[in-house]
Each structure stands twice: as structure tokens, then as C-alpha cells.
Chain A
Amino acid sequence: MTRAASATLEVRGLSTHFFSRAGVVRAVDDVSFAVGRGEIMGLVGESGSGKTVTGFSLLGLVDPPGRVVAGQIRFEGRDITGLSDAEMRRLRGRHIAMVFQDPMMTLNPVLRIDTQMIEAVQAHERVPRAEARARARDALGLVGIPSPEERLRAYPHQFSGGMRQRVAIAIALLHRPALVIADEPTTALDVTIQAQILAEMQALCARFGTALIWITHDLAVVAGLADHVAVMYAGRIVEKGTVEDVLDQPMHPYTAGLIGSVPSRTRRGERLPGIPGMTPNVLNLPPGCAFRTRCKRADATCAADPPEFAEDAAHLHRCFHPLVAIPA
């Protein structure tokens, strides 16, 4: 990609495998993508597709029996693949931050919000307590929490689900990280609250030039939020490109099936085209294209591993029989 030089994050050939007693699970398999300054990338997939493990791998959070077995992660031009735990810890939370689906994974239920936020500031910078507290208050205000001064003294259980997620986002933004990885942060929230959080994230990325990876199963959220999208299936990115390219002219049959599964206004009451069958067991994936058992277009060719085909410089897919857009 041409953006590589200016990319905040560049991932090449990332593979994370889990070595379980039942066999090797290739949770992430040869994944490559790049995210530039201020860009939002949607990482889309269904459960078990490896999207969350991809996020964890970037942060060096994969625990045994899982291990990053191959690939290179370049963050702001620097290879961070082989960093020690101590070096990773200096990076994490300061330059790269993560927001989880469940904000209680971030928040300690027995500590007040100010205690937790001051700790997060002072973990990376030597600043006086009062200044750290002021920064915490400003961060809460930034994500749209009313009367942040009073709310600092509250405990996590005194917040609603949406407010808790805002606090988690505020903590992630405390050090103005260059990259935020958000793993389904609005999935558990109501539509009106989700829209509020999407609005805040959009504004923050534009304002501070933060690169954002938004991991989700919801194509509609990605359509409205992201610049680029990567679709994962059984550990691999099967298609990636700009939101317009991928959602308007999907090349991979899986992407097309996902789009066809979303109920939409134009086809009210009609059967959804969808995708037949079930997501495969990642322990024994068929050789070649993992999607071929559910794919109408599959033939003998698909038993070989599909390489990355480039439709054009920005639109890539892994399919021997891509859907070709019919010229209008």
C-alpha cells in the first residue's frame, strides 16, 4: 500500500496460533493491514473469526497456549514485534490503547474513578497528583460525561452501561495515544447510546489524528464510521478495501453473504439470501479456502490456498472466483 510510509500501524503476515491439546488453532493466519493517522479501520467478522485475537496480538496480550508465531507489527515506523514485556508495557496505555466490549474489564469495581484515572496518568508520566486529576476530569468532559468534577468521585457501579463505556474510553484517551483498538465497544449498548459514543469517537479521531481500529460484527456501524474495512473469516482477512469498495462492490462471496444477511429496507419480508451452513470448527479447517464448504462458487481450485489478489491497489481479496461487478 502506498500509505505505508505514513501509516501509524502496519501489520504484515501476522499469525497467532493456539497450541491446545486437541491441536493447533490458527486463530489469526497471515493477516496484513495498515492504518494511517486519523484513519478509522473496521475489522469485521463473526464470532471465532479471529478479530479479537488480532487486536490482542497487536497489544502483546496473547496468553499461552497462544503465541504470535509469525509476522511483523510496525508502529509509527518502529518494529514492535519482538519487544520485551517491560517495553511493551511502556507502549501500552500510553501510545496504543484498547477499549473492550465490557467496560468492567477496564474498570476496578472497588476503586473510585479518580483513583483509577490518576493511577493511569501517573503510570506513564511523572506529574503531580493535582495535575493528573485535572487531566482525568478533562478527559471525562471530552467524552461527554456531564459534571465530570463530581463524577470523578463516583464508583463504577454508580454509572450506567453507556457512561461506564465512556469512562473506559476516557481512560484510553488519557495519554492521547496514536492508536486506539476498540473491540465491540458499543455492542452491549442501546441504539441511542451507541450513536452518542460513535459521535464522540469520530470527533476525537478527527481532532487528535488518532488511528482507530474498530472491531465489530456489525457491518452497519462500520458503514457509517470507518474509512477502510477488513473482513475476517476463520483467521484470515478475506477482503479489504475502502468502505465504499467493499460494501458496494464486494468481491469475496463471504462478504457478499454477510451483506445479504443484514435485513434492509429494500427487501422487506423477503427471504434473506444469507449464507448457508455454519462457521467451521477452527481446529480442523479444510485445506485451501476455509469458506469453500459454504460457498456456491467453490470448485476444485479452492482446495489450494488462495493468495491475496489485488482488484486495484486498495481493494484486495482472497478468492479464486471473485464476484465481478456487472458494469452498469
Chain B
Amino acid sequence: MSAAPIMELRGVSKRFETKRDLAARLRRARAPTVQAVDRVDLSVAKGEVLGLVGESGCGKSTLGRMVAGILAPTEGQVLYRGRDRAALGGAEARDARLRVQMIFQDPYASLNPRLRVSEIVGEAPVVHRLVRGRADEYVDAQLRRAGLDPAYKRRYPHQFSGGQRQRIGIARALAVQPEFLVCDEAVAALDVSIQAQILNLFMDLRRELNLTYLFISHDLGVVEHLSDRVAIMYLGRVVEQADTPTVFGRPNHPYTQALLAEVPRLDARKRRFTAIRGEIPSPLSPPPGCHFHPRCPHAFARCSAETPALKEVAPGHRSACHLNDIRH
């Protein structure tokens, strides 16, 4: 990529400690830790849409929250416009936080039910002095941009449908004039026809406001439609990343290949479903070596002993699989 990355992750990890019960405390046992994100390097260029794909428990939401600045990484650095976000202070830190906003999956849980729409959308820009005085006109403009009629701004969230609530969440995020949006399963809870409307809105906003997206989803169809580049996560690690046509056309990692084979498609008729063996292992005790090896049809001895590094297999195409060393 020629453009300087707007967001860069360097060796970012996040560990969560689970609470020890009484027996464990008496034994002075160590608290079990979940390595939610494991040394991830990722960069997002200005104006780009990076799709982040993975199944439940793979750490994609945790990663998204670290990018949005809601969670601090346990290890590693999050660089925003080339500067370590943890090192920023005062006005700079506040500004960096405002410029990266997040849109959540559940439009029923991410809006304060006791506030009117005008307050939900208008509060932050007033507090951060992005508008002076009365915010009415400003709020109207934000609502219109998200496809909502400003006449409804005196209403409460429960008076709206799921798709409209997601639009309120988008209007709220855009009200502080961000340049980077982290969308965490932002269309997963919506009906198909409404999902299409919101996806169109995301694409329009990107063009209008020159936004950059980290688009997190388990839905490969949605990610393929929207993204310029895609990163695939499995149990805390990025196992493959490349531009969208490469990931979907010439996937390198066996997990990506399997995942793509499983996706139900409109044009596939009466197909025989064949499935990857086994289940997603518990992140509390991930398998050693390559996390995917117990389910991988090509696994050999080295896979259970050594963690494969994310290496370039073609320009701009990186994959973490030991098989690539054999093929060369």
C-alpha cells in the first residue's frame, strides 16, 4: 500500500483473566487467562475498508474495541496516524478518540432507552464543542444523513424498528465527525432487506465523507461486498490477509479455504454439505502450535509444535501456514 496507514497495530495482544473461585484461591492456583488477541499486526490505510472475519470467540470484537480505543491492549502498540495512542495526552488523546467511532451489533442495547433521539445524537457534539449553542440544526443534518426523518427526533429508541435504531447509532457516531468507523457486526441483527439498506448507507457515507472502516463480521458475503482488503482471524490470531478478490479467489490458509467452502450461496443448488471436522476449541486452552491443526486436513507434525508466522506468500498476501514452506 502506498498511502500511509491511518491505523496500525503492532504485536497487539489482549489477555483476560477469568475470576478464580474460592477453591482456586485457596489452592493459590493461577487464574485461567484467555488470550483473546494474540500478537496481531494489522494496518488500515486512509479511505480503505478492511474486513475482519472470524467465527465466534476468535477475538475479532476485542480487536475492534482496541482499535476504537475502548480497550487497552495488554501488549503491543496501537498507532493512530503514526503515533502510539497510549503515549498521547490531553487534547490530542481526546481528539484521537473522537476521530475513531464505533457502531455496535445490537441496536437495542447500544442506545440509552431514556434519552430522546435528539439527545442521543446531540450530546457528544455539544460536550466536545463541535457545535456552539443549540444543536437542533446540527442534529437534523446528522439524522438526515443517516436516512432518518428529523421530525422523529423527539422520540425514544423503543419507538423505532431495528433498522432505524441502527441508523440512530450511525448518526450518533457521525455526529462527532470521525474519520474512522469500527463496525462490529453492524448489520448482523437486521432483516435481509433492511441489511441491504444499511450496507448501501455505509457505502454512500464512505464516498461522501471519505471514511475509513474496520468492518467486523462473521458474514463472508457482507464482507466480500464491502471490503477492499480482508483479514481472517482464528482463535486470536490473524491467519490470512490480502485484498478481497485474492482472499475469495485464491485463499491460501486451509482455514480460509474451509470457511469459504462452507458458506451457503444463493447460486449453489442442492449441494452436499461437507463440514470441517470438529469444533472451535476453547480459547481457555487453545491447541499448541497452529491453532487450527486439530481440524486441518493437511496438518503434519510441525503444525502441533510450532506456531506459524504470518508470512508474505505473494505481494500483499500474507498467510500463517507451515505448508507454504514446503511448497517453496
Residues of A in contact with B (beta carbons under 8 Å apart): 46-47, 160, 162-163, 190-196, 198-199, 202, 217-221, 223-225, 227, 243-244, 247, 257-265, 267-269, 271-276, 278-279
Residues from chain B with Cβ under 8 Å of A163 in the complex: 279
With A218-B264, A258-B193, A264-B266 as contacts: A271 and B258 at CB distance below 8 Å = no
Residues from chain B with Cβ under 8 Å of A259 in the complex: 266
Question: Given the complex of chains A and B, what is the CA–CA distance between A219 and B269 in angstroms?
Answer: 11
Residues from chain B with Cβ under 8 Å of A276 in the complex: 197
Is A244 touching B222 in the complex (CB atoms < 8 A)? no
Q: B132 an interface residue at 8 Å Cβ cutoff?
A: no
Selected from A47, A198, A244, A272, the residue in CB contact (under 8 A) with B200 is: A272
How many A-B residue pairs have C-beta atoms within 8 angstroms? Tell me: 137
Q: B208 an interface residue at 8 Å Cβ cutoff?
A: no
Residues of B in contact with A (beta carbons under 8 Å apart): 55-56, 161, 163-164, 191-197, 199-200, 203, 218, 220-222, 224-226, 244, 248, 258-259, 262-276, 279-280
Is A199 touching B274 in the complex (CB atoms < 8 A)? yes
Is B191 touching A46 in the complex (CB atoms < 8 A)? yes
Is A191 touching B220 in the complex (CB atoms < 8 A)? yes
Q: How far is the CB of A44 from chain B (nearest CB, A)?
A: 9
Is A220 touching B221 in the complex (CB atoms < 8 A)? yes
Residues from chain A with Cβ under 8 Å of B221 in the complex: 220, 262-264
Residues from chain A with Cβ under 8 Å of B269 in the complex: 223-224, 243-244
Residues from chain B with Cβ under 8 Å of A160 in the complex: 279-280
Selected from B192, B203, B273, the residue in CB contact (under 8 A) with A269 is: B203
Is B268 touching A217 in the complex (CB atoms < 8 A)? no
Question: 4 tightest A-B contacts by CB?
Answer: A263-B225, A274-B196, A261-B196, A196-B275
Is B225 touching A198 in the complex (CB atoms < 8 A)? no
Is B193 touching A191 in the complex (CB atoms < 8 A)? no
Q: How far is the CB of B215 from chain A (nearest CB, A)?
A: 12
Main secondary structure of the interface of A (DSSP, over half): helix
Is B280 touching A190 in the complex (CB atoms < 8 A)? yes
> Quick one: closest A residue to B261, CB to CB?
A195
Is B193 touching A275 in the complex (CB atoms < 8 A)? yes
> Quick one: closest B residue to A188, CB to CB?
B56
With A191-B259, A223-B266, A274-B196 as contacts: A279 and B275 at CB distance below 8 Å = no
Identify 9 residue pairs between A and B in the complex whose beta-carbon atoms are under 8 Å apart, listed by A's number: A217-B192, A219-B192, A224-B271, A225-B273, A243-B269, A258-B192, A262-B266, A265-B224, A272-B200
Is A199 touching B275 in the complex (CB atoms < 8 A)? yes
Is B218 touching A190 in the complex (CB atoms < 8 A)? yes
Residues from chain A with Cβ under 8 Å of B193 in the complex: 46, 257-258, 261, 274-275, 279
Selected from A196, A224, A271, A275, the residue in CB contact (under 8 A) with B265 is: A224
With A192-B275, A274-B200 as contacts: A268 and B225 at CB distance below 8 Å = yes
Is B224 touching A199 in the complex (CB atoms < 8 A)? no
Question: Given the complex of chains A and B, what is the CA–CA distance between A266 and B222 in angstroms?
Answer: 13
Is B244 touching A268 in the complex (CB atoms < 8 A)? yes
With A194-B262, A223-B266 as contacts: A275 and B196 at CB distance below 8 Å = yes
Question: Given the complex of chains A and B, what is the CA–CA distance between A47 and B190 in angstroms?
Answer: 9
> Quick one: closest B residue to A244, CB to CB?
B269
Is A192 touching B276 in the complex (CB atoms < 8 A)? yes
Excluding A259-B266, A262-B192, A271-B203, 9 further A-B contacts by CB distance (< 8 Å) are A46-B194, A190-B218, A191-B262, A198-B273, A224-B264, A264-B267, A265-B248, A274-B200, A279-B193
